Amino acid sequence: MTEKRTLLYEGKAKNLYHTDDETIVLAEYKDQATALNGKKKDLIAGKGELNNQITSLIFRELNRRGVRTHFIEQVSNTEQLNTKVAIIPLEVVVRNYTAGSFSKRFGLAEGLKFPTPIVEFYYKNDALDDPFINDAHVKYLEIATDEEIAYLKKAALEIDEILTDIFAQIDLKLIDFKLEFGRLPDGEIILADEVSPDTSRLWDADNHHVDKDVYRRDLGDLIPVYQQVLAGLQTKFEGK
């Protein structure tokens, strides 16, 4: 049994702990909701439990479909074990429809489908508000090589196809989402962090938000929305 030990990292949505196995960390999901890069912040009872269970189900399905991820197993309602990786300081965003900052940046209505998905990079740096960066910036900052940049884009698009299918099976449209990747000691890059309504923009058939925009935009109570996502995933994918 892998045991939780000292705190390794405290984030906005979860804490990471060392374990008695130096190759494994324990992620503990928090009830904290944040938006606008932490400028809006609230404790919402039950949110951590929901995100942990949603991410666990999605990562198990991604692993089953051949995507290499850091997910090992869910060990409690709020905790999961992950392979320890060195996180690459990039948010890899995949957009299937116009929404959020993209719509604001280009003055476009939300919900317009792109002919092909768009992949964007954002520099993970809270002090700089996670700025949008391009491939040349990534290389200059020595975040990733040309080959790694190409791999991140290819992997993100492959994951997009799988996630689009997963959410379509529970009658949700995947508008856009954020991924984070990490390096293993041998340099291999694998999917890390989480996939949840915190990191994905999801709309139902009536274009209602089923994601963190409910909190971000003060559209109502977050918990029933996340419960809807979890219940759908449990019905379709639990036990696979």
Domain ranges within the chain, ordered by starting residue = 4-83, 86-221
pLDDT per position as a tens digit, 141-159: 999 999 999 999 999 999 9
Question: Which pLDDT tens digit goes with each residue over 15-58?
Answer: 999 999 999 999 999 999 988 766 788 999 999 999 999 999 99
Q: Could you tell me the two tokens for 231? A: 């219940």
Which one, of 9, 46, 42, lies nearest residue 27 by Cα?
9
Q: Across the chain, where does the E strand assignment appear? A: 4-10, 14-19, 24-29, 32-35, 40-43, 71-74, 79-83, 86-87, 90-97, 113-123, 132-133, 173-183, 189-192, 200-203
Tell me the whole-structure pTM to 2 decimals.
Answer: 0.95
Q: Is 80 exceeded by the pLDDT of residue 105?
A: yes
d(CA 60, CA 67): 10
The pLDDT tens digits for 81-95 are: 999 999 999 999 999
Q: What is the DSSP string of 142-163?
A: TS--HHHHHHHHHHHHHHHHHH
Closest to 237 measured CA to CA, from 187, 177, 162, 175? 162
- The architecture CATH gives domain 86-221: 2-Layer Sandwich (3.30)
**Tokens describing residue 55:** 């991410």
CATH annotation of 4-83: 3.30.200.20
Q: Is 34 helix (H, G, I), strand (E, B) or coil?
A: strand
Return d(Cα 224, Cα 200) in angstroms, integer.
16
CB-CB neighbours of 233 under 10 Å: 22
Would you state the pLDDT for residue 2? Answer: 74
Q: Which long-range contacts (CB under 8 A, 24 or more apart) does 129-137 make?
A: 129/37, 130/37, 130/91
Q: What is the pLDDT of residue 1?
A: 60
